[in-house]
Amino acid sequence: MAVFGVLAAGVVLVLLERGYRELEVQLAGLILRVITSSGVYVAGDRESVYFGLSSDTPFGLRMTPECSSVFLLLPLLLVTAVMLWFRPQNARRLFFSLGISVIAVILVNQLRILTIVGLVNGLGTDEGYYWGHTLLGSMVSVLGGAVSLVLFVWLATRRSKAEKQAAS
């Protein structure tokens, strides 16, 4: 049942992807409000966050499906389902690992957004967006996704002290 539950969660994420993007944009807006004082507006229904509103160069980011962390979460869900299939006795550890890794992926995507914002503020609209979105933002996503997957596997497969002592 757990395997099908995890796979169903993946299907639900894909089906509700737009609403998920709205939540990601809202989270980005909350973070930006905390770390900037230049004005932030979130248009959740348009999956957009606007920043620098009190500056000479306000800017808006629209989160498209490719920019969402949904598609970074799907491999984690698939790996969890496969591992649950082969080792259902490890369900508790797998769900813990999945939870930590999901948080890591969400934070990585927020870091990507903050990278874009920082570079737009620092280098200007055209150059900052290019470097922030195309190069550094993509690197943050790829490296963060890889780290999240490694973290998941490490947490899911490591043995506790009690297990190590029992094996000795």
Dump pLDDT digits (tens) for 7-20. Answer: 999 999 999 999 99
**Distance (Å, rounded) from C-alpha 26 to C-alpha 20?**
10
152 touches 93 (CB < 8 A): no
The answer to whether residue 166 scores a pLDDT higher than 80 is no
Q: How far apart are CA 111 and CA 106, in angstroms?
A: 9
Nearest to 59 by CA among 47, 48, 44, 45: 48
pLDDT surpassing 80 at residue 160:
no
- If you average pLDDT over residues 66-95, what whole number do you get? 91
Cα(42)–Cα(9) distance, integer angstroms: 27
Alpha carbon separation from 58 to 40, 66, 117, 134 (Å, rounded): 9, 23, 11, 20
Q: Where on the phi/psi map is residue 124: left (φ > 0), alpha (ψ -120 to 50), or beta?
A: left
Kindly report the pTM of this predicted structure.
0.86
Give the model's confidence band at 85: pLDDT under 50 very low, under 70 low, under 90 confident, else very high: very high
End-to-end C-alpha distance for the chain, whole angstroms = 33
**Percent of the chain surpassing pLDDT 70:** 96
Query: Which of 65, 151, 58, 139 lies closest to 103 in space, CA to CA?
Result: 151
Mean pLDDT, rounded, for 45-62: 88
Confidence of residue 135 (pLDDT cuts 50, 70, 90): confident
Could you tell me if 24 and 63 are in contact, meaning their C-beta atoms sit under 8 angstroms apart?
yes
Query: Looking at residues 41-68, what average pLDDT do you find?
Result: 88
Retrieve residue 151's tokens: 């973290």
Tell me, what's the pLDDT at 168? 65
- Determine how β-strand 40-43 pairs with β-strand 59-62: unpaired
pLDDT the model gives residue 104: 94
Backbone angles phi, psi at 49, to 5 degrees: -130, 130
